[in-house]
Amino acid sequence: MKKILVIGAHPDDCDIYAGGCAALWSDRGDQVSFISMTNGNAGHHREAPDKLEKRRREEAERAADVLKVSYEILGHDDGCLVPSLENRLDLIRRVRKSAPDLILTHRPNDYHPDHRYTSTLVQDAAYMVTVPLVCPEVPHLENNPVIAYLFDEFTRPAPFRADVAVDIDSVAERKWRALDCHESQFYEWLAYNMRPGTENVPTEAGERLLWLQNTWGEILERPAESCRQRLVETYGSAHGAGVTFAEAFELSEFGGQPGKEELSALFPGQAPGAD
């Protein structure tokens, strides 16, 4: 059994970028934990922050049930996360208690400050989790966990590099159901903020899910399209060329450096394919 820790900035970030792998991991018996560094209380155009925070915690709980993961939301206000020493030490303690084999998080070059600072905090906690005299009240880790970055499309100062690409077509329906749980985001806030026209969002549950798939399908297909060569190398040409939904990850220099065998054990479906 592997321990996987996904650290996102907001409730729903982990689901968007690693929900499919989370389902695959949980299905094979791994322990998967999601942490949202902020409470998401600014992610709306109408809802009061205190009510929105409560909603987002409830939405995350429902998504956790779908994906069979644990989901923890920290108390930092949305948009206010900073890479302070206090927050670094808190994350060091949390990582030590979790003792993950693999940590996934955002890359440090990203449009949202909460994403960037989540990444910075993970990077700053890396290695320090192995230093006994830092946070000595929590036993240190013997080994630095492997750290990998979640997919993005930003190019400066460097574009995303797909070191790992995972076919999630077999669990795509579960990922869609997990995203469907985050009603305040996909059917309200993001529909308003990213795709003006919230009046077009259906009110019936089944129609909403179909609307979500039609609206976000092109976005969630991008990792597979962008990382097609890695998918072909991993699954073989026929399989890799046919993958619709994938999740991709870039290994970080700040974490442990896995060999091919360890990488195959950490990520689902990573035995090299053959033509």
CB-based contacts of 258: which residues, under 8 Å, 6+ apart? Answer: 146, 251, 266
Residue 141 contacts residue 43 (beta carbons within 8 Å) = no
Q: Give me the residues of the chain with pLDDT under 50, please.
A: 273-275
pLDDT at 61: 98
DSSP type of residue 267: S
What's the whole-model pTM score? 0.96
User: What single letter denotes the amino acid at residue 10?
Assistant: H
Q: For 15-82, give the DSSP string.
A: HHHHHHHHHHHHHTT-EEEEEEEE--TT--SSS-HHHHHHHHHHHHHHHHHHHT-EEEEEEEPTT---
Instruction: Report the DSSP pairing between strands 146-150 and 164-167.
Output: unpaired
Residue 17 contacts residue 114 (beta carbons within 8 Å) = no
Q: What is the pLDDT of residues 129-183, one digit of tens each?
A: 999 999 999 999 999 999 999 999 999 999 999 999 999 999 999 999 999 999 9
**Domain covering 3-266: architecture:** 3-Layer(aba) Sandwich (3.40)
- Give domain limits for the chain: 3-266
